[in-house]
C-alpha cells in the first residue's frame, strides 16, 4: 500500500482523480493525496471542507479479491487503520462511531468515504477516501461544524506531521489487509470493537429509508449494524448517520 503515490497541490476531489487512475488500470495500493480539495466530498452528498495545507485528503485504490457484499468490511478495516495511525503518532486514542467516523472527545477528526466499481458481483476497484483534520485551528472550521469537528492540533495543542500519519496509515492498511486476507473479517471485527463507541448504546439511525431507533447490538460478520428496536425486532442497518443518546 502506498508504493505508488501521486501528490497534487490542488484537485477537485482525490476520489474523482483516484477513479480516473483506477479506470486506467492503477495498481492495488495506489495512493492519491492532495494538499487542497476544491470540491471535497463527504458521505450522503455532503461537502467535505478541505482547506490547503491543513489536513490529509487522500484516496486509496484497492483491488481486493472479495465479494461485493463484503465491501463494507473494508470501511471498518480502514477506520481501524486510521485509529492506529493517529494513536502511534499522537498517543491519542480516537474512537470509532459506526460506520466510519473517527472521533476524539466526541468530535469528528476523520471521515471515510468508500466507493466501488463492480462488474456483476466482482469488485473491480474500491476507492477509499480518507479525510483527516490535522492542523486546523478552531477558527478554520466553518460556524456550522465548529461544535462537532476537531483536529489533531486542537486536541494535542501542537502541530502534527502529516507525512508521518500518512506513512503509518499505509503501514497499518497493509498489515490489516494482510490479516483480513489470511484470516478473514473476525480479527478485524474484534479490533474495530475495541475502539467503537456506538455499540451497546441507544441510538438513532438516519438512513435513506427512514429513521430508526433502538439499541445498537453490534456489527455482524458483514460489518452491518444490528439494531434492536423497542418492539424487539432486530433490523440490519447498512448505511446511516447515527446519533448516540
Question: Whose Cβ is closer to ligand BTN: residue 46's or residue 190's?
Answer: 46
Q: Is 43 annotated as a binding-site member?
A: yes
The residue number with the shortest CB distance to ligand BTN is: 111
Query: Rounded to the nearest whole angstrom, what is the least distance from the CB of residue 10 to ligand BTN in the complex?
Result: 13
Query: Rounded to the nearest whole angstrom, what is the least distance from the CB of residue 240 to ligand BTN in the complex?
Result: 12
**x/- map, 90-119, ligand BTN, by CB under 6 A:** -----------x---------xxx------
Burial class (CB in 10 A: 0-12, 13-18, 19+), 23: exposed
Q: Which residues, 119 to 138, sit near ligand BTN by CB under 6 A?
A: 129-131
- CA angle, 98 then 102 then 103, to 5°: 110
Q: Kindly report the length of the chain.
A: 245
In SS3 terms, 29-48 reads as CEEEEECCECCCECCCCCEC
Query: Rounded to the nearest whole angstrom, what is the least distance from the CB of residue 117 to ligand BTN in the complex?
Result: 16
Q: Is 41 annotated as a binding-site member?
A: yes
In SS3 terms, 61-123 reads as EECCCCEHHHHHHHHHHHHHHHHHHHHHHHCCCCEEECCCEEEECCEEEEEEEEEEEEECCEE
Per CB under 6 A, does 64 bind ligand BTN? Answer: no
Is the preceding omega at residue 99 within 30 degrees of 0, hence cis?
Answer: yes
What distance in Å separates the CA atoms of residue 84 and residue 176, rounded to the nearest whole number?
A: 11
Considering only residues 37, 73, 125, 150, which one is a binding residue for ligand BTN as defined by CB under 6 A? 37
Q: Is 108 annotated as a binding-site member?
A: yes
Q: DSSP character for 189?
A: H
Query: Rounded to the nearest whole angstrom, what is the least distance from the CB of residue 102 to ligand BTN in the complex?
Result: 9
Question: Whose Cβ is closer to ligand BTN: residue 37's or residue 73's?
Answer: 37
Sheet order of strands, 202-207 included: 234-237, 225-228, 210-219, 202-207, 241-244
Question: CB of 206 within 8 A of CB of 241?
Answer: yes
What distance in Å separates the CA atoms of residue 119 and residue 150, rounded to the nearest whole number?
A: 38
Stretch that binds ligand BTN, among 13-21, 86-94, 159-167, 193-201 (CB under 6 A): 13-21
Question: Whose Cβ is closer to ligand BTN: residue 48's or residue 192's?
Answer: 48
Question: Whose Cβ is closer to ligand BTN: residue 108's or residue 153's?
Answer: 108
Per CB under 6 A, does 42 bind ligand BTN? Answer: yes
What distance in Å separates the CA atoms of residue 171 and residue 75, rounded to the nearest whole number?
A: 16
Question: Whose Cβ is closer to ligand BTN: residue 51's or residue 184's?
Answer: 51
Binding-site entries = 37, 41-43, 108
Q: Which residues bind ligand BTN (CB under 6 A)?
A: 13-15, 37, 40-43, 46, 48, 50, 57-59, 101, 111-113, 129-131
Pick out the residues of the known binding site for biotin: 37, 41-43, 108
Amino acid at each position: 500500500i502506498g508504493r505508488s503515490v501521486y501528490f497534487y497541490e490542488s484537485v477537485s476531489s482525490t476520489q474523482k482523480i483516484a477513479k480516473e487512475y483506477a479506470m486506467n488500470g492503477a495498481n492495488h495500493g495506489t495512493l492519491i493525496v492532495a494538499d487542497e480539495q476544491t470540491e471535497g466530498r463527504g458521505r450522503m452528498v455532503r461537502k467535505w471542507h478541505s482547506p490547503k495545507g491543513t489536513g490529509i485528503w487522500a484516496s486509496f485504490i484497492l483491488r481486493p479479491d472479495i465479494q461485493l457484499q463484503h465491501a463494507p468490511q473494508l470501511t471498518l478495516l480502514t477506520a481501524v487503520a486510521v485509529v492506529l495511525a493517529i494513536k502511534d503518532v499522537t498517543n491519542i486514542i480516537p474512537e470509532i462511531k459506526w460506520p466510519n467516523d473517527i472521533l476524539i472527545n466526541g468530535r469528528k477528526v476523520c471521515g471515510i468515504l468508500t466507493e466501488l466499481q463492480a462488474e456483476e458481483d466482482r469488485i473491480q476497484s474500491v476507492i477509499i477516501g480518507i479525510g483527516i483534520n490535522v492542523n486546523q485551528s478552531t477558527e478554520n472550521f466553518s460556524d456550522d461544524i465548529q461544535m462537532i469537528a476537531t483536529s489533531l492540533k486542537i486536541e494535542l495543542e501542537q502541530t502534527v506531521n502529516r507525512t508521518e500519519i500518512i506513512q503509518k496509515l499505509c503501514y497499518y492498511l497493509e498489515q490489516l489487509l494482510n490479516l483480513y486476507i489470511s484470516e478473514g473479517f473476525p480479527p478485524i471485527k474484534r479490533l474495530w470493537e475495541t475502539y467503537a463507541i456506538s455499540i451497546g448504546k441507544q441510538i438513532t439511525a438516519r438512513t435513506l429509508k427512514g429513521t430508526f431507533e433502538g439499541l445498537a447490538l453490534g456489527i455482524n460478520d458483514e460489518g452491518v449494524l444490528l439494531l434492536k428496536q423497542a418492539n424487539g425486532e432486530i433490523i440490519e442497518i447498512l448505511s446511516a448517520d447515527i446519533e448516540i443518546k
